[in-house]
């Protein structure tokens, strides 16, 4: 059974945004994040090994719910699903990308930055969105302002958020989780686990 978006965003307060340059990092990095309490893991499709990394994490890391990030084309939606992605994250949203995301059958967070972006999602009945790049687009203040005209919209702000800034976002009623890369740097797996544990307890 595919996850619902409600289930996805409830898995943890933080979605790690992972950039895999070396395929061998994929499994130990995801395993450390899961041990720390962050099961929903977004692997960005920005690097050559990204799809293979999704495949390996899906097959080899019990407890991980792996998704694809930086999804910008319908082809990438297909490729990510074939690799085993269970959710999709996009930095933006065009009509054709939204068509592909809605047809995918898995939860997705399409990127919004402006009121018109939010309206375009609401017109399709979509009530969850990424807010990107969060800090540059007004951060907590912008999301507070969005709560007025868009009370039904729920956001996962991402971009420029760290462990110090995350609590102010998570305190907002219209924020369901935050995305960030601060705990997902490959190398020292114990450090990744510790940073993930701190993020999971936010
Ligand atoms: O490529 C995408 O689709 C993204 O999701 C971009 C990420 O949101 C940022 O790279 C988050 O990274 P930090 O700002 O380092 O936390």
Residue 172 predicted with pLDDT over 70: yes
Q: Could you give the CA distance from residue 101 to residue 107 in angstroms, rounded to a whole number?
A: 8
Q: Could you give the CA distance from residue 129 to residue 112 in angstroms, rounded to a whole number?
A: 6
Instruction: Clarify whether 141 is annotated catalytic.
Output: no
In ligand 1, the atom with minimum distance to the C-alpha of 133 is 8
Closest-CA residue, ligand 1 atom 11, reads: 159
Instruction: Clarify whether 165 is annotated catalytic.
Output: no
The Å distance, Cα 79 to ligand 1 centre, comes to 20
200 is a domain residue: no
Q: What ipTM was assigned to the predicted interfaces of this complex?
A: 0.91
Q: Is the dihedral of CA 133, 139, 144, 149 positive or negative?
A: negative
In ligand 1, the atom with minimum distance to the C-alpha of 69 is 3
Domain that holds residue 168: 5-195
44 is a domain residue: yes
28-55 pLDDT tens trace: 999 999 999 999 999 999 999 999 999 9
Give the number of domains in the chain. 1
- Domain of 38, CATH number, reads 3.20.20.70
């Amino acid at each position: 059974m595919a996850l619902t978006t409600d289930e996805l965003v409830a898995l943890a307060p933080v979605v790690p945004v992972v950039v895999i340059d070396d395929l061998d990092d994929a499994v130990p990095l995801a395993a450390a994040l899961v041990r720390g309490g962050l099961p929903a893991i977004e692997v960005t499709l920005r690097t050559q090994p990204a799809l293979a990394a999704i495949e390996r994490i899906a097959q080899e890391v019990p407890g991980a719910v792996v998704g694809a990030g930086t999804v910008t084309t319908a082809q990438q939606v297909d490729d990510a699903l074939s690799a085993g992605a269970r959710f999709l994250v996009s930095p933006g949203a065009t009509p054709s990308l939204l068509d592909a995301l809605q047809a995918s059958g898995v939860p997705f967070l399409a990127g919004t930055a402006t009121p018109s972006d939010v309206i375009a999602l609401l017109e399709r009945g979509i009530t969850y969105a990424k807010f990107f790049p969060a800090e540059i687009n007004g951060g907590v203040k912008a999301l507070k302002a969005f709560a007025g005209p868009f009370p039904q919209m729920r956001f996962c702000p991402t971009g420029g958020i760290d462990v110090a800034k995350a609590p102010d976002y998570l305190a907002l009623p219209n924020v369901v989780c935050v995305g960030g890369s601060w705990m997902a740097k490959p190398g020292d797996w114990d450090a990744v686990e510790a940073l993930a544990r701190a993020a999971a307890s936010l």
